[in-house]
Structure 1
């Protein structure tokens, strides 16, 4: 009897083609064709709409047929929400989606840009600028795979990563999201996509989205294109260059991403020669879709279509019309979704946006959802809960910290006969100083728990001070003073000092900086400590900063970038358990007035050139 019922169910689902899209044995393209023909215009436009979790609910998803939900930086179902709380939330949206007429699942997206960084207790890896300094694509692939597991462990199938911008000016507030200033370096690091999504087989068609199973996520290459080349590094500004240079410098990493089967691409806020990328039909449709053969979906950035006009949203109908006709498939609204849906519906009915353009967008969205297996398994896999902040992931992050550190100076100043590094573990008394020495939030930087990041114990991890205390002998006295004055340092019997200073956290436009100086408190600490003691300075920053006036005061200088939650990796190298292997992913300038300055430029005159990095064996 059970066999007869199963056969009857199969005949009803697939035999006459009535519900072909629900049959996982059919090809993805056949399923898309079947589902698309069943959809109303309202259902199609719902699929093109991405909304923020703060305005999403089971009822909203059901009523509007919403295709995508996301959380912005710092938006969470509860403070320090556990993985199961995130899963409950995402599953609630899926219940709403599955109860619609056609049962099309939502795809929940999150900015997992250096680990699953919105979730308390997740492993936080070094930001991309540090990973670029590792020169280790296989390491980056492994980080992608571990990140995918943690994202999936909270019920989310979609990560807005990686950023494959080529940052050509460190004044840009997103520079730390870039792997480096050299296109070939960034291209090599696109291997993270294989970690996030899995590696497609050789027979997989180029440009077709690929997601290799329930432990992988839909990845998103961003931000197309030229976002790292804006004038003076100003975020969302204009990239002024030739089309040839745009392709060679900024577009080249996308060729690799598309060849790896990246499922989605996010469009940049920036402009190319005065034309907003969200309005640039030539680059978005003709180049990316037609010439490069990308078959996944294109997603806008947060409220980015609003900014097609200046001031933003001055003519929202024009913004919707222009962005959709440019070729963007999924619109990150994220709050004013009813207005967006109404406007786009009216534009289609009036003929201003063609039905074929809508069908192209929805076809691409469905293609990714089918490739990701969401129709078969829309809800969270609760067996993955223990992957958030898993010990093997933290060990991987610790390894990444070790490999990303760049040794810029190691000398025998102050009359000593040998270089200060590696540090002695058995010194009687050492000083640890600086604003960033015992502050996990500062160590992680922006895009950590909240959008801009923060200070203090923002998540779970090990600070550099804690790591030093874990590493030295039990007989060594470790004295920590955040901002010591000169009198505190003198004649206290310290063998040496570790000074950890740097930038405050920031993200995007808030991080744009035209002077790039070390904050004054850090400079004061260097002067007060290093004038009396042998010292190693560890710089925590999302980019090179002005060093030339201060570097002679230091015995050693380490660029630690933004190392993330596992500060133990810094101590591993400072005390000689591992040597430095990092090679700078950026040119260290002498003065800000040299910028922009990148390797290969005429008149290239750096303080430390691109690719510079010493080992402790070098004298």
Structure 2
């Protein structure tokens, strides 16, 4: 009996100790702190990290294209992230429901892995949810910079976040905060301005996308719930300052230029809680940014205190292979050691995983670097609430392309237009145009082409021509809707001068500009107005009063056409809501936009930015005529 009296309390003590071990998250316990939303993010990250194998950690650092994201691949390799490249969709004209089904299917595969770590799906939503059919397409950044309206851009960020979430996606590769210093660069329309102060102002899109970061969390990754998305400040750093504006080229600038022009917007982005930063394809004084430890780790992470994760650009490690280290293994080694945390592979994932695993096993890359990368990735995932709500629902589907968002895009178009000329003399302005006229001519390649109007990064990576590209209103359609019902609108894309003279038009609206492009394909050494734009301007404007609307991603060489036109408008790349152009042409709203880029005379002046000693523009930075709304006309 005595022996029994002693053993019962002893057994109870063992039980209590075992239970305590379980609830404290002991290594072999069933209680997992990382699954407990009441725990601090730091605690959850550390708990999960210590449970992970090297294979699971490297899986988290791998981002693959959606075409590779089968259930087998997601489970076998513990893939941490999936993306849609430009134009990559589950089907042509895929509906939000189809997007949701795809992302949820991939996510469910992730959740069946040993530790159930959710993947994060990313997409280029750079001017609205531009990969998705019938989404609202906002003006490209080159036009938004003109508005100098931070609150407008914040609202655009919030609307974009809702539309991205409507398709089950929680991560947008935006905003581009490059300071484009040379319009020959094919990505210049992705930049808000040549002036870093305007770019800094426009980083307000980040709290629009992610939500306002609480003051106590300022400077840490923050995403406020199911209606927000993780943002990505790109491309770190100096991509807008490459030599001759050549994409992915070398940026050769002084330290003063680097830190005073190209860096300030990143400081603001980090303060606003941006979750991720994308490294640039470009180099800095000969050093590839994807392999630049000084900038990615010493400066971005250590000096600026960035706590989110650094993601590579698309196949960027493949692009790092150059003599004397022209092999992929060296590229993996250099980029991971430099500070890249997640690699946008996006196809050869097995090769990347095998190489990185081997480099770690050989201690070429220390485990501390791997742990740092995974800790950052997990921190963002926990901050987004992905562990609590990994599966997207249908509650936001109705937000895609909704009327409220299209009205916001229309407002953005109105505010982004710049009036460069109005009348042959100040006393005889042509704008605003009268809505009531017997017959008006609308001409030009860009008047009735939604694809041209939206530009690159719209449904397809490079964009394309056509009105069946997505849903929206062309400028021609908007004109017809705006004028008086008695006014006859005649559209002829490329009329000859005899036709124009013989039809007794009251006035003409000519809409011409650039063809769609993106990135390297958009690099342009001459920046002339594409054919038949010059011919249309000459045939129409020498015969009749005309306003010329230029649809482009940057200023073009137009000096010789200016005397021939009565009015000249820079519309940039207005997106899906062409009604915003008509709103201002016909005086329902006034012109208010001011150039956020210098309009040069000749390409041999480039690069030329405000403040340069050789500054001699056609239209200077900050220029823009104004008109007042007309209530009755």
TM-score (norm 1): 0.96
Residue 459 (str. 1) matches residue 500 (str. 2): no
Match 1:517 to one of 516, 528, 537: 528
**Is contact 1:94–1:105 with CA below 8 Å preserved after alignment?**
yes
Please state how far the C-alpha of 1:573 moved relative to its aligned partner: 0.1
- State the alpha-carbon separation in 2 of the partners of residues 13 and 96 from structure 1: 28
Q: Which residues of structure 2 form unaligned runs of 5+?
A: 1-18
For the aligned residue pairs, the C-alpha RMSD in angstroms reads: 1.5
Equivalent runs, 1:74-93 vs 2, <5 Å:
74-93=87-106
Match 2:356 to one of 318, 321, 344: 344
Equivalent position of 1:506 in the other structure? 517
Residue 224 (str. 1) matches residue 233 (str. 2): no
Equivalent position of 1:534 in the other structure? 545
Please state how far the C-alpha of 1:205 moved relative to its aligned partner: 4.0
**Is contact 2:550–2:570 with CA below 8 Å preserved after alignment?**
yes
> Structure 1 residues 157 and 516 mapped into 2: Cα distance closer, same or farther (>3 Å)?
same
- State the alpha-carbon separation in 2 of the partners of residues 527 and 400 from structure 1: 30
Equivalent runs, 1:480-491 vs 2, <5 Å:
480-491=491-502
> Structure 1 residues 14 and 609 mapped into 2: Cα distance closer, same or farther (>3 Å)?
farther
> Structure 1 residues 612 and 492 mapped into 2: Cα distance closer, same or farther (>3 Å)?
same
Equivalent position of 1:150 in the other structure? 163
SS in 2 for 1:600: coil
- State the alpha-carbon separation in 2 of the partners of residues 13 and 119 from structure 1: 46
Equivalent runs, 1:27-106 vs 2, <5 Å:
27-106=40-119
SS in 1 for 2:512: strand
Residue 439 (str. 1) matches residue 449 (str. 2): yes
SS in 1 for 2:164: helix
Greater mean deviation of Cα atoms: 281-290 or 301-310: 301-310
Please state how far the C-alpha of 1:16 moved relative to its aligned partner: 4.0
- State the alpha-carbon separation in 2 of the partners of residues 40 and 463 from structure 1: 54
- State the alpha-carbon separation in 2 of the partners of residues 596 and 268 from structure 1: 20
Equivalent runs, 1:266-277 vs 2, <5 Å:
266-277=278-289
- State the alpha-carbon separation in 2 of the partners of residues 417 and 201 from structure 1: 53
- State the alpha-carbon separation in 2 of the partners of residues 582 and 58 from structure 1: 50
Aligned length: 606
- State the alpha-carbon separation in 1 of the partners of residues 325 and 462 from structure 2: 24
Please state how far the C-alpha of 1:243 moved relative to its aligned partner: 2.1
**Is contact 2:80–2:118 with CA below 8 Å preserved after alignment?**
yes
Encode CA deviations 1:72-97: one digit per residue, 9 max, x unaligned. 11111000000010010000111110
- State the alpha-carbon separation in 1 of the partners of residues 628 and 148 from structure 2: 20
- State the alpha-carbon separation in 1 of the partners of residues 325 and 147 from structure 2: 42
Residue 421 (str. 1) matches residue 431 (str. 2): yes
Larger CA Rg, structure 1 vs 2: 2
- State the alpha-carbon separation in 2 of the partners of residues 74 and 520 from structure 1: 27
Match 1:608 to one of 604, 611, 619: 619
**Is contact 2:592–2:627 with CA below 8 Å preserved after alignment?**
no
Residue 211 (str. 1) matches residue 219 (str. 2): no
Residue 546 (str. 1) matches residue 536 (str. 2): no
TM-score (norm 2): 0.94
SS in 1 for 2:548: strand
Residue 120 (str. 1) matches residue 133 (str. 2): yes
Residue 196 (str. 1) matches residue 206 (str. 2): no
Equivalent position of 2:508 in the other structure? 497
Encode CA deviations 1:503-535: one digit per residue, 9 max, x unaligned. 000000000001000012000000000011100
Equivalent position of 2:257 in the other structure? 245
- State the alpha-carbon separation in 2 of the partners of residues 298 and 417 from structure 1: 56
Residue 305 (str. 1) matches residue 301 (str. 2): no
Encode CA deviations 1:283-340: one digit per residue, 9 max, x unaligned. 0000000000000000000001111123899400000000000010000000000000
Equivalent position of 1:577 in the other structure? 588
Match 1:564 to one of 559, 565, 575: 575
SS in 2 for 1:54: helix
- State the alpha-carbon separation in 2 of the partners of residues 317 and 558 from structure 1: 51
Match 1:131 to one of 144, 160, 183: 144
- State the alpha-carbon separation in 2 of the partners of residues 314 and 364 from structure 1: 29
**Is contact 1:306–1:312 with CA below 8 Å preserved after alignment?**
no
Q: Which residues of structure 1 form unaligned runs of 5+?
A: 1-9
- State the alpha-carbon separation in 1 of the partners of residues 21 and 586 from structure 2: 68
Greater mean deviation of Cα atoms: 262-271 or 56-65: 56-65
Match 2:294 to one of 272, 282, 286: 282
Match 1:355 to one of 358, 362, 367: 367
- State the alpha-carbon separation in 2 of the partners of residues 242 and 256 from structure 1: 21
The structure 1 segments of at least 4 consecutive aligned residues displaced by more than 2 Å after TM superposition are: 10-18, 310-314
Please state how far the C-alpha of 1:412 moved relative to its aligned partner: 3.9
Equivalent position of 2:8 in the other structure? none
Residue 448 (str. 1) matches residue 425 (str. 2): no
**Is contact 1:32–1:366 with CA below 8 Å preserved after alignment?**
yes
- State the alpha-carbon separation in 1 of the partners of residues 274 and 414 from structure 2: 29
Encode CA deviations 1:399-437: one digit per residue, 9 max, x unaligned. 000000000000146xx9631100010011000000000
